[in-house]
Structure 1
Amino acid sequence: MNAVLIVGCGDIGIRVARLCSPATVAGVVRRPESAARLQAENIAPVVLDLDRPFTAAELDADGRELYYFAPPPATGDTDPRVAAICSVMRGAHRPRKLVYISTTAVYGDCKGRWIDETAPLEPGTARGRRRLDAERQWLAWGKQQQVPVVLLRVPGIYGPAKLPVQRLRQGLPVLAEDQAPFTNRIHADDLASACLAAMQHGADGEAYNVSDGHPTNMTDYFNRVADLLGLRRPPVIDRATAERELTASMLSFLSESKRLDNTKMREKLGVKLRYPRLEDGLAACGRELGCD
C-alpha cells in the first residue's frame, strides 16, 4: 500500500489512519503536544504550522496519498493555508492523490430542499465561502499538477469525542424544534470510511455528499445527546430570542436548511454506512462512553 500523509490529523485523521493499516502513515499537527497522541497510534508526527513559511521537505508529501483535513482560518472569505500548501506541493513534491474534507455550507441555504452534488454553490456564510475557496484552489492545483483531487462535502460530525457535552452542561438554549431548520450529520467512523473510499474509488474533480441520509434538526440532536448522557435537555427559545442570545457561529448554522442526498456516496464510492440513522450512532457512542 502507498504511504499516507494526513494534514490536520485530529480525531478523524486518527480514525482514517487506523483504516489505512498496514500502510505507513504520517500526520501533520500544529502543536507539539499533539504529537504524543499520534505516536501512541503508530502515526509518525509532523509538527508544522501552516500559517508560517514551510518547505516541501518539511511537509514530505512526495508520492503519498494525501488527506487534507486542516480547517481554514476562523475569519475571511479565503483559505490561505490551502494556498500555502499548494505552493510547495509542485513537481517532484506532488502527492499521488488528494482527498479534501469540505463542508455542505458551500451550498448555502436550500430552504429545506433535498439536494445532491449538482446543487448550485451559493454559500451564505463566511464559513462556507472559505471552504468553497479551498475547493476551487484544490481543483485548480490538481489540474495544473496532474494530481487527482476528490472533494467530500461534510455536514455535522458526531462521535464519542464530538458530542456537545460542554454546551449541554452549560444549559445553553436551543431553538424551538418547530422553528429549527433541517440539519444533516455523519458519524465519525462512517466519515473515516468515506475518506478511505474516496481515496480508493473517488473520481478526479468530483464532489460527494457525506451524510447518513436521514436529516433531523439541531434541537432534536441536542435533546437526544442530553438523554444519552443523562443530562437535562436544553431550554427552548423562539427565533427572535435566538437572534439576541445565540452566538454568531450558532446562528450561522441555523440560517441554513437542507436535506442531503447521499446516493452518489453510496453508489459511486461504495460506502456502506455503519450508522445510517442518528439513533444507531448515538447508541454506539453510549456504549463507547460507558453510558447505561
Structure 2
Amino acid sequence: MNLFVFGLGFSARHFAERERARFNAVRATVTEPERARNLAAETGFTLRSFGPDTDDPRIAGDLADTDVLLISAPPGRDGDTVLARYRDAIAKSRIGWIGYLSTIGVYGDQGGDWIDETTPATPKSARSRDRLAVENAWLALGAETGKAVQVFRLSGIYGPGRNPIVKLRDGRTQRIVKPGQVFNRIHVADIAATLAASIEHPRGGAVYNVTDDEPAPPQTVTEHAAALTGLPLPPEIDFETADLSPMARSFYGENKRVRNRLIREELGVQLAFPTYREGLAALVSDAGR
C-alpha cells in the first residue's frame, strides 16, 4: 500500500512518519524544490515540488501508483489546486481512501455553544468559506467515483516544536483575555491516530471533528504552560486593545465548543491527550528527556 500526501506540513508529516511502516512507499509534496530536496534527506520520503508556480511532472505517475491519498495543502487562489490539476488522474487511479484536512473554522461563530458534525457549517471568514467549498468538491469527487473521501475538521493544532511552551520560551506569546472566549485544541499525535483509524474503517462522505475533550480560554492554557515550566508569564492584555494581526483577531471572532463523539464512537479513537493538560505535560516530559 502506497501513500501520497499533497502538502507535507506539520500534521501530515507527523502522520506519515508515525505510520510509515504501514506503507511500501511514501511520496509527498512541498511548494519549493529546495525544500523538497532537504525534506527527502530528512525523512527518507520521496518528495515532489507542487504549488501555485511549480508542478513536478512525476506526480501523475505517483498518483497512478497510490492507494491512500492525504490532502493537507490549503486552497489556492482559485480553489483547490490539487483538484484543478489532478482531478481526472485521481478519479481514474486505484486510490481507495482519500482524506482532506480541513478546519473547524467552517462552522463559523456559534456563540460559545456546543456543536458536532450535524451542526450546519456557516463559515464567517473568506478563508473558511474557501475551505468549505473545497470540502464539498472533494466529497463530490467521492460520490461520483465511489472512492471513500473523508473530511477531517481540525481544531487548534499543537505538538512537539509547535505549542504554548515554545511560544513562552521564545517570548512570542501574549496572554490575551476576552471574557467567555474558548478554543478547542488537538495534539498532532491524535490527528495521526484518527487518520490511521479511518484508513482501517473508511466511510465515504464522512465528516469528522478532530478535537480534544475540553475547550478552554487561551489565557488558561498559557498560564498552565508557565506553571509547568517555570517560564515567565506575560501580563494579561485586554482583547480590545491587543496588538493582533487581522487573521489572529478573526480567530477571536469565532467562539464554539466542539464535540468529538463521532471519532470515538465510529472510529474507536482514544485520545492520547484528551485535554491540553495531558498534552502540555507530555511535551515537558519529552523536552526533559
TM-score (norm 2): 0.88
CA contact (8 A) 2:208 2:262 kept: yes
Structure-2 separation of matches of 1:83 and 1:27: 16
Within a 5 Å distance, the mapping from 1:14-33 to structure 2 comes to: 14-17=13-16, 18-23=18-23, 24-31=25-32, 32-33=34-35
Which amino acid in the other structure matches residue 67 of structure 1?
Answer: L
SS in structure 1 at match of 2:19: helix
* Shift in CA distance, 38/218, structure 1 to aligned 2, threshold 3 Å: farther
Q: 2:4: which partner in 1? A: 5
Assess, with a 3 A threshold, how the Cα gap between structure 1 residues 239 and 228 changes in structure 2: closer, same or farther: same
Matches within 5 A, 1:56-71: 57-58=59-60, 60-62=62-64, 63-71=66-74
Question: Could you tell me how far 1:142 is from its partner in structure 2?
Answer: 1.9
Q: Is the 8 A contact 1:56 1:89 kept in 2?
A: no
Is the CA contact (8 Å cut-off) linking 2:110 and 2:255 kept in structure 1? yes
1:166 Cα deviation (Å)?
4.3
Amino acid at match of 1:251: R
Cα deviation, 1:214-238, whole Å, max 9, x if unaligned, reads 1112222223334444432232222
| TM-score scaled by length of structure 1 | 0.87
User: Who is 1:45 aligned against?
Assistant: 47
Question: Matched residues in 1 for 2:153 and 2:4: separation?
Answer: 20
CA contact (8 A) 1:185 1:211 kept: yes
1:272 maps to amino acid: Q
Instruction: Name stretches of at least 5 consecutive residues in structure 1 with no aligned partner.
Output: none
Quote the offset at 1:255 in angstroms.
0.7
1:283–1:35 Cα change, 3 Å: farther
Q: For 1:72, which of 72, 75, 88 is the aligned residue?
A: 75
| Aligned pairs for 1:86-235 within 5 A | 86-93=86-93, 95-164=95-164, 165-166=166-167, 169-170=170-171, 172-176=173-177, 179-235=179-235
Q: Summarize the Cα distance change of 1:229–1:38 in structure 2 as closer, same or farther, 3 Å threshold.
A: farther
- CA distance in 2 between counterparts of 1:97 and 1:83 reads 15
Deviations 1:189-236 (A, max 9, x none): 111111111222131101011111111122222233344444322322
CA deviation profile, 1:116-141 (whole Å, cap 9, x unmatched): 10001101112211211110111112
Aligned-pair RMSD on alpha carbons? 2.4
| Stretch moving more, 255-264 or 39-48 | 39-48
Aligned-pair CA distance for 1:9: 1.4
* Distance in 2, Cα, partners of 1:35 & 1:151: 30
**More divergent stretch after superposition (6-15 vs 186-195):** 6-15
For structure 2, which runs of at least 5 residues remain unmatched after alignment?
none
- Given that 2:168 and 2:232 are in contact with CA atoms closer than 8 Å, whether structure 1 keeps it comes out as no
Query: C-alpha separation between the residues in 2 aligned to 1:91 and 1:19?
Result: 25
How many residues of Structure 1 are paired with residues of Structure 2 in the alignment? 284
Matched residue SS, 2:51? coil
